[in-house]
Structure 1
Amino acid sequence: MNRSLRVLIISDSHGRTDRIGQVIQRVQEQVGGYDLLLHAGDHAEDVLNGDFDRAVAVSGNCDPAGCEAEEKKLDLLGVPTLLLHGHTVHVKTSPLQLGYKAAEHGVQLAVFGHTHTPVLFQEGGCVFLNPGSLSYPRGYTECTYALLLLTERADGIDADFSFYTLDGFRIPAFDLSHVFSG
């Protein structure tokens, strides 16, 4: 039987735990919940306070120094992943340093925040994802979050990326299916 992993990805919640709760309720209703919650910084404690299960978070520029690591390397069903906020690699200026950081860590997926703008692109064998913000959207008029469904197959990992507004409406422009090689 093929294993799967559903990952809920949020960032830049800035104290809006009510919105995190709203997103979790929507995900539960729409797809039956999540297996892992990633928070890409700025109020990491919003998900680490014990109210939300299976959460991994990193520190952002608006988090207290040392509350969490600024970056974490994860293994998501065999997909090497880097989780970081992005302020340390200046993602508001250019994705170039983020690309270097991803290459340095040898990851196939880089999840970041900081810009408050939803982003999904592929470059140099890596998928880069910013779920946008649950508090103060920029570059997109709605608060957003992302879902990633990973499914094992014989020759790799199928990945289906989708983005949603706070109200649970899917944003088809951000849909992406990708295969991560094993």
Structure 2
Amino acid sequence: MRIAVFSDTHGFLHFIDNAMEIAGPVDLVFHAGDVSPDADYIRETYRYRVYGVSGNCDTFSDYPGERLIKLEGKKILLTHGHAYRVKYGYDKLLTRVKELSADIVVFGHTHCPENVWANGILIFNPGSLAFPRCGKRPTFGILEINEGEIKSSINEL
């Protein structure tokens, strides 16, 4: 299963279009919030199944604050991250991941890409297509889960 991962797109749909072209064929899409209607744009335009969550800028969103998604035998926590104060560290986020026995956590909010393993958990932030931080260009992620193996990458526009 190949998954395109976006966060913090903030309504910049042309960046999503560019990223979708670079990503190539995917099986589904994750959108980790800010702005959650962009997830609807991806669903309607590209006809992919999209899992989205609301972020701190998604005041009137109907999307949940977090989702636990089970795919290919793996549990993935999808959240924006602001409720876990990820700008100040990952302790609260990782506590939640452990409560849910998740294998992967996908989040945004910091606008900084992150692709690291800690204690057997993939900590994955695709960065931001709209307002990148941490000295990076606009970024998005790709997750691949095949036969229990997880591969992940951060890609620049």
Mapped to 1, the partners of 2:23 and 2:123 lie a distance apart of 22
Q: Are the equivalent residues in 1 in contact too, given 2:36–2:61 (CA < 8 A)? A: no
SS in 2 for 1:92: helix
Relative to the length of structure 1, the TM-score reads 0.81
Mapped to 2, the partners of 1:136 and 1:142 lie a distance apart of 9
Q: 2:117 aligns with which of 107, 122, 143?
A: 122
Partner residue of 1:19? 15
Deviation at 1:65, TM superposition (A): 3.6
Q: 2:80 aligns with which of 85, 99, 121?
A: 85
Q: 1:160 aligns with which of 146, 151, 154?
A: 151
- Whichever residue aligns with residue 45 of structure 2, its letter is D
Identity %: 34
Q: Are the equivalent residues in 1 in contact too, given 2:3–2:27 (CA < 8 A)? A: yes
Report whether the alignment pairs 1:140 with 2:135. Answer: yes
Deviation at 1:67, TM superposition (A): 2.0
Mapped to 1, the partners of 2:68 and 2:135 lie a distance apart of 28
Root-mean-square deviation (Å): 1.1
Q: Are the equivalent residues in 2 in contact too, given 1:118–1:140 (CA < 8 A)? A: no
- Whichever residue aligns with residue 7 of structure 1, its letter is I
Cα deviation 1:96-123 (Å, max 9, x = unaligned):
1011010111101000000000011222
Mapped to 1, the partners of 2:118 and 2:23 lie a distance apart of 29
Partner residue of 1:176? none
Larger radius of gyration: 1
Structure 1, unpaired ranges of 5+: 167-182
Provide the aligned length of Structure 1 versus Structure 2: 154
Higher RCO, 1 vs 2 (CA within 8 Å, ≥6 residues apart): 2
Deviation at 1:137, TM superposition (A): 0.5
